[in-house]
Amino acid sequence: MDQAVQVISAKYPCRKALIQKLYQLFGDGDPFPPAVYLYGHTSTGKSSILQAFLPLMDSSTTPTSWAILSAIECYTNKILFETILNRLTGHVPCAANAYASLASVDSMKDFVAQLARLSPSRSYIVVLENAERVRDMDHNVLPMLLRLPEVTGLNVCVLLVSDLPFEKYFVRTGLAPVVKLFVAEYSKKDILVILMNDFEAHANLSEEEIDKRLKIVEMLTPDFYENYLNIFLNVFFKVCRDLKELQLVALECFHKYCEPVLDGTIAADDVTRLWRNISKTMKLALGTIYMRMGNVNQELLRPATVDAQTSSESVEQMQTMKRLAQNLELPFYAKFLLIAAYLASHNAAKEDKRLFMKYHGKQKKRLQSVNAKAKVSEKMATQLGPKAFTIDRLLAIFYAILDEKVGLTCNLLAQISTLIHLKFLNFASGEGTIMDGSARLQCTVGMDFIVHIGKMVGFNVRQYLCDFF
C-alpha cells in the first residue's frame, strides 16, 4: 500500500501528507471512522486525490465499495438516498430496468433499512462533495449521515468535502464528532513544482517546426521553463491561485514566450529581454484570466510581428477587448456593480468623498498632494493591482454612480454573487458571507475591459479614478 501512496503522490505533488493521512484512516485494515470532513479552498486537489485514492481501497483482504456524488446534483432527500444505494451496489439505471433505482427510498428510515441489507463483509465509503448543500435539506439528514455505522452496523464512512470550515454547520440538536482534514492552498513554490510537470507537454512542437528549429529547440530546457514560470507566477499569483486557471493561461502565454527564441531573435538565456517581450501579453491575459470566452484569449495572445510595436497593434487590441466586453451578457445593474467594484479596488477609501459626493468641501493644495499627483505608471493604482473592499463600500459607490434610485433587494445581492461566480470578483476574506456584509472582495478585470463596459452603459470610468486627476 505504501507503493500506492507513492504513485498517487507522484501524480499529485505537494499533497503527500494528505494522502498519507487518508491511508492511515482507510488503508490500515482498521474500522473506518464514522465521518471525515475534508475542507479547503477550491482547486486544491481534494476531489482529484479522492478519485485516485478510493479505487486502491478495494482489495482482496479488505473489499471496499465507494460512492462519489455531489450534493448539488442530489438536491432532494430521495435523489440523495437512491443515488448512494445505486453507486454502493453498482446498480445502473438503464433501459433494461426502465431507469429504475435499486429501491424506492422516500425517507431516512427507508434509507437506513436498505443500507442494513448490504453485505457486512465489505466496507463502504460515501463521498459527498459540496457538502454545505446538505444544510438546506431536512434537519435529520446531516446528523444521521454522521452516525451511519451506529444505526446500520456496517463499516461505513461518510466523507464530506466542502470549501467551508465545519463550524459553519450548526444544528440545534448537535452533531456527532468528525475527523477534520484541512487542505491548505498551494503556495507559490508548490504551484511552480506542479506546473513544472507540464513542461514536456508544453514544449512539444510539430514535426515541421522541430526539423526547422532543431538546434534552438534544444535550448528549451527545464531551466528555461522554470524561468518562465517564475516570471508567470510573479504576475499572476497575487490575483489568481486557482491551479486550473493558472495551468490554462500558462500554456497560452508559453507559446508567445518561446516565439522570439524559436525565431532566433532573443537568446534563451536572456531573461530580461524575454520578460520585456512577454510583459504586454501577460498584462492582457491578466485581465481575461477567468473569462474563457471562445477564442478571445487567443486573439489577445496573437503573435506580434516586428512592426507590431506601433499604434495599429494597440488599436487592434482595443477592438478585441471591445468585442470581449460586448459579448459579455450581464444585466444592467450588474454592469454598474462591476464598475463600482473596479473603482473600489483601484481608489483609496479616503478619496471616496471627493470622488462621489457633490459637496465634499474645498481641498487645500499642499506640496505633498502636488507631489503625489506627479505619478509614474509603476506607482499608479491601476498598475499596482486591485485592493480589497467591503460590500458596504461597493454598494455605496454603486448608488453614487447610478442615476436612478434602486432599492437594496435580494436580486441586487444575487448579482454580486453572480459576479463572484463568474470570477470577476474574488474573495479577499470572509468567504461565503455576502449577506452579512463582512466579506472583503477584489475586482479581477482590467482597465481596458471596464472602460468598454462603462461605454456600454454611458459611464466615464476614467473620470472617477484617482490616477487620472
Q: What does the angle CA 82 – CA 62 – CA 155 come to, to the nearest 5 degrees?
A: 50
**pLDDT confidence tier of residue 383, bands split at 50, 70 and 90:** low
Question: Which range among 36-40, 450-454, 456-460 has the greatest average pLDDT?
Answer: 36-40
Whether the predicted model's global pTM rises above the 0.85 cut = no
**pLDDT confidence tier of residue 302, bands split at 50, 70 and 90:** very low
What pLDDT was estimated at residue 377?
47
Grid coordinates representing 241? Answer: 491561485
3-class DSSP assignment, residue 153: coil
More confident residue, 83 or 362: 83
For residue 374, which amino acid is it? A
Largest Cα separation within the chain, whole Å, is 84
Overall average pLDDT of the 130-145 stretch? 91
- Cα separations (Å) of 258 from 78, 212, 342? 54, 15, 33
What is the residue extent of each domain of the chain?
A: 1-182, 188-305, 326-356+381-464
The answer as to CATH 1.10.10.10 being correct for domain 326-356+381-464 is yes
Distance separating alpha carbons of residues 234 and 153, to the nearest angstrom: 53
Does the structure show a pLDDT above 60 at 362?
no
Residue 61: how many other CB atoms lie within 10 Å: 5
pLDDT over 70 percentage in the chain: 79
pLDDT tens column, 194-224: 888 877 665 555 555 555 455 555 667 788 8
Q: Tell me which residue of 210, 440, 234 sits closest to 344, measured CA to CA.
A: 440
What pLDDT was estimated at residue 324?
61
Contact 369, 307 (CB under 8 A): no
Q: Tell me which residue of 354, 307, 355, 341 sits closest to 446, measured CA to CA.
A: 341
Overall average pLDDT of the 4-22 stretch? 89
Grid coordinates representing 235? Answer: 504576475
pLDDT tens column, 73-117: 998 999 999 999 999 999 998 888 888 888 899 999 999 999 999
Q: Burial, 79: exposed, middle or buried (Cβ in 10 Å; 0-12, 13-18, 19+)?
A: middle
Q: Give backbone dihedrals phi and psi of 206, rounded to 5 degrees, phi first.
A: -70, 165
Distance separating alpha carbons of residues 182 and 307, to the nearest angstrom: 52
> Which residue reads 465489505 in cell numbers?
122
Mean pLDDT over each residue of the chain, to the nearest integer: 81
For residue 217, which amino acid is it? V
Q: Burial, 125: exposed, middle or buried (Cβ in 10 Å; 0-12, 13-18, 19+)?
A: buried
- What does DSSP assign to residue 162? E
Grid coordinates representing 153? Answer: 452496523
What is the dihedral angle through the alpha carbons of 253, 257, 260, 266, rounded to the nearest 10 degrees? 160
Q: What are the residue ranges of helices labelled H in 12-124?
A: 16-26, 46-53, 77-89, 108-116
What is the dihedral angle through the alpha carbons of 248, 251, 257, 258, rounded to the nearest 10 degrees? -170
For residue 20, which amino acid is it? Q
What pLDDT was estimated at residue 367?
46
Distance separating alpha carbons of residues 423 and 242, to the nearest angstrom: 11
Q: Give backbone dihedrals phi and psi of 123, rounded to 5 degrees, phi first.
A: -105, 155
More confident residue, 268 or 328: 268
Grid coordinates representing 57? Answer: 481501497
Distance separating alpha carbons of residues 325 and 81, to the nearest angstrom: 44
**pLDDT confidence tier of residue 294, bands split at 50, 70 and 90:** very low
Q: Which residues have CB under 8 Å from 403's CB, separation 6+? A: none
3-class DSSP assignment, residue 158: strand
CATH pick for 1-182 out of 3.40.50.300, 2.10.260.10, 3.40.50.1820, 1.10.565.10:
3.40.50.300
Strand order through the sheet with 425-429? 389-390, 440-443, 425-429
Does the structure show a pLDDT above 90 at 67?
yes
Overall average pLDDT of the 260-266 stretch? 82
pLDDT tens column, 243-259: 888 888 888 888 888 88
